[in-house]
C-alpha cells in the first residue's frame, strides 16, 4: 500500500539532488515497515528499517567528512548485503 498525499502523515519526502548527469528529485517513501528511495533516473531502492538506519548513519558520516574538507579514506568499504 502506497502512502497517501495527506501532508499530516509525513510519509513522503522529496529531496532535490544533483547527479553527474543532471539534477532531479530523490523521493523517500515510508511503506509499512519499509523505506523506499526513488532516485532521479527512476531506480528504486527498498530498505528495512534497520538498513535505512545504517544508510542514514553512513550518509551522516560522509557528510561529516565533506564538511571538514577531509577525503574519505581509500580503505573505507561500503556495506553490502551481497555475499562474496
Residues of the chain with pLDDT under 50: 1-3
Q: How many CB atoms lie under 10 A from the CB of residue 70?
A: 9
* pLDDT given for residue 72 in this prediction: 52
Mean pLDDT of the chain: 74
pLDDT of residue 79: 60
Q: Which residues of 33-61 are buried (b: 16+ CB within 10 A; e: fewer)?
A: eebbbbebeeeeeebeeeebeeeeeeeee
Q: Give all strands (DSSP E) within 1-84, no chain letters.
A: 12-19, 22-31, 34-38, 44-48
pLDDT at residue number 47: 94
Domain boundaries, the chain: 9-67
Amino acid at each position: 500500500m502506497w502512502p497517501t498525499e495527506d501532508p499530516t502523515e509525513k510519509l513522503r519526502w522529496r529531496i532535490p539532488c544533483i547527479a553527474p548527469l543532471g539534477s532531479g528529485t530523490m523521493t523517500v517513501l515510508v511503506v509499512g515497515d519499509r523505506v523506499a528511495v526513488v532516485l532521479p533516473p527512476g531506480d528504486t531502492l527498498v530498505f528495512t528499517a534497520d538498513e535505512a538506519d545504517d544508510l542514514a548513519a553512513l550518509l551522516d558520516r560522509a557528510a561529516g567528512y565533506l564538511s571538514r574538507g577531509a577525503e574519505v579514506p581509500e580503505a573505507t568499504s561500503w556495506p553490502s548485503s551481497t555475499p562474496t
